[in-house]
Structures are given as C-alpha cells and as structure tokens.
Amino acid sequence: MRIEAKVHSIKLATPFVISRGARTHCNVVRVTISLGNWQGVGECTPYPRYNESVESVLEQIETWQVNLKHLTPVQAKLQLQNFPAGAARNALDCALWALISDMDKLDFPAPYFDVNPNIETAMTVSIGSAEVMGEQARQYVEQGATLLKVKLDESDIEHRVAAVRQAAPNCKIVLDANEAWQDMELESLFQRLAHYDIAMIEQPVPAGQDELLQGIAHPIPLCADESCHTKQDLSSLYGCYEMVNIKLDKTGGLTEAFELEVQARSLGFGIMVGCMLGTSVAMKAALPIATRAEIVDLDGPVLLGQDVENGLRYSEGKLHLF
C-alpha cells in the first residue's frame, strides 16, 4: 500500500468562537491510501486541546506507515488499533475503510454501510453577545434548521440562551459549555435552564472532574464530550452523564467508534455523534454511527468558507449524502 498525507488549511466562513477561544481557519490532514487502482481517503483535524498539532499528526502517520504499508488493508486496520486513539489514527482508519469498500466495488460510506442519506443535524451557534447569538439562530431557522447547538462559556448564560430560544421557538436546542462551568452552582443553573426547554447539555465540567456532577439533580440530560474518547472511558462516566458524544477524531477512527457505540448502549448511554471543524470527507465517515444516533452534530462543512467537491448538501436542517 502507498500512504500519503497532505495538510489543507481552510478559511472559515465566519470566526468560530467557543469557551476556549476563537478560530478563523481549520487545518485538516487528509490521508490517501492506494493499492493498485484502488484508493481510500480519510481526514482528521488535529486538536490542540488533546495536545495534537499538524506536525505531531504527520509525524505519527509517517512513523506508523512503516508498520502498515506492507500489510493487507484488513491486516493494517487491525494493526492500527494498537496505536493511540486520536486524529492521526482516525485519518488512517477511515482511509482504510474507504479503500476496502473501493476494493469491494462499493462507495464509502454508502452503500458499503447501510446509512440514512438524509439526517437531521445540529447547526452551531457560536459564542457572541446575546443579540448576535439570537441573530445566528434566527438565520438558521430561516434556512430550515430544526436542531441548534449553542456554544457557551461561563458568562451571560441565561441571557444568551433566552435570546436563542426567542429566535428559535420551535427548534430542539442543545447547549455546549466545552468544560467551562466548573465554578458555577450547577444544580441551580440546570434548574433555571430547564425553563428554556433544553434537550441536552454537553460537557459542563472539565474532563477528569466529572465527579463534580455526581449527586447533582439535573432535569436536562448531560452528555460527555471531552471526557469520552474510547470505550475505556465509559466506566468513569456512569452516574455522571446520560449520553456520550462520539467523534472519530477522539475515537481514532470508525473501528473504535463502532465498539464505543455498542458498549455505551449496553451501559444505557444515549449516543450523540459530533465532529471537529472539517470537510465532508470527515463528516461522511461518521455517517454509519450517525444513522443510529439520537443527536447528530455534523455541520462542520457549513462553517467552512469552502468544502470539498461533491461534498454533503445541507438544507432544511438536514445533511444529504446524495
């Protein structure tokens, strides 16, 4: 097999602001694995929060391919699971899945996998003033959105949520604190937010401090994101969260994502499928899991200035594979 990795820097349509800061570009690493006339492509987004950079991901891919390129694609996919979960493994794993499907003369992800080609997805409202966030929500509603994901930090929480709810009275709304609420009086906050008909709250406290949630009454379901990477994390999340957010860049690819999904459901967790900023190459790879998820957040390409050719289509609050 021939393994190639290239970096693509993509300007965002507008600055993307979460509790950890603002971004104007995203850098993705795209891996192409070729075997004869067959080819598979995978994409990852290195994430500084997880001590990843473009350079570190490229170095991992360069190091690992020495052990992979002489194997069959199926053998390589199995061998890859011995390497650390993260962005680099994700790009390689998804490229191998795509290569194997190409060898079977089937498109990836469908019809190789049985996926729903039209899936409701969240549209992301990034952090700004309450007025700005309300306007973002209003524009999404005008475009047909039915599910909004609202980014928040520790400031002006209720005012911002109220503005979004007023602008989107009929939308399902999930909130994402990105670990920013560790100093809040959480039980009181959760009770107040329940008045805005919130469907779910993601990661209110920092990863590793999930025990802060134990014993706290919360009428709104909580979802682990930064705290949940692979199936090994699940035991520490039980009793703190009702859902887990599966992202391929965290699981290290589709292979582990399948295993995480099965084990999470066996423990009673609901499933959300999310993404980093990235193109339709990355979003398509997540569709086999997204097809069965309760909540899907795969709007990454909507936030980009330009997606790849033949990418997913987004309209009326849904992503469309075809």
The domain ranges of the chain are 2-103, 118-320
Active-site residue identified among 151, 172, 250, 318: 151
247 annotated active-site: yes
**Mean pLDDT computed over 20-44:** 96
151 annotated active-site: yes
The packing angle between helices 73-80 and 54-68, to 10°, is: 130
Name the more confident of 19 and 166.
166
User: Tens digits of per-residue pLDDT, 168-214?
Assistant: 999 999 999 999 999 999 999 999 999 999 999 999 999 999 999 99
Given a cut of 90, whether residue 282 has pLDDT beyond it is: yes
Residue 156 among known ligand-binding residues: no
As a residue count, the chain comes to 322
Asked if 146 and 120 touch (Cβ cutoff 8 Å), the reply is yes
Given a cut of 90, whether residue 22 has pLDDT beyond it is: no
Place of tokens 């990836």: 108
DSSP 107-170: -TTTTTS---SEEE--EEE-S--HHHHHHHHHHHHHTT--EEEEE--SSSHHHHHHHHHHH-TT
Q: Give the full edge-to-edge strand order of the sheet including 38-44.
A: 2-18, 21-35, 38-44
User: Tens digits of per-residue pLDDT, 87-113?
Assistant: 999 999 999 999 999 999 999 999 999
Average pLDDT, the chain: 97
Q: Alpha helices of the chain — where are they, by DSSP H?
A: 54-68, 73-80, 87-103, 130-142, 157-167, 186-193, 234-237, 248-251, 254-266, 280-285, 287-290
pLDDT, residue 21, reads 83
Q: Looking at domain 118-320, which CATH architecture does it have? A: Alpha-Beta Barrel (3.20)
Whole-angstrom Cα Rg for the chain: 19
Active-site residue identified among 77, 149, 231, 247: 247
**Mean pLDDT computed over 234-243:** 97
Given a cut of 90, whether residue 19 has pLDDT beyond it is: no
CA-CA distance, 272 to 11, in Å (whole number)?
A: 27
Residue 202 among known ligand-binding residues: yes
Class of 2-103 per CATH? alpha beta
CA-CA distance, 299 to 196, in Å (whole number)?
A: 23
Question: How many contiguous H segments (helices) and E segments (strands) does the chain have?
Answer: 11, 14
The two structure tokens encoding residue 83: 């390497």
Q: Which amino acid, one-letter code, is at 144?
A: G
Q: Alpha helices of 145-253 — where are they, by DSSP H?
A: 157-167, 186-193, 234-237, 248-251
pLDDT, residue 224, reads 99
Q: Which residues of 136-150 are buried (b: 16+ CB within 10 A; e: fewer)?
A: bbeebbeeebbbbbb
The two structure tokens encoding residue 189: 């906050």
Residue 176 among known ligand-binding residues: yes
Given a cut of 90, whether residue 80 has pLDDT beyond it is: yes
| C-alpha distances out from residue 116 to 50, 212, 265, Å | 31, 37, 20
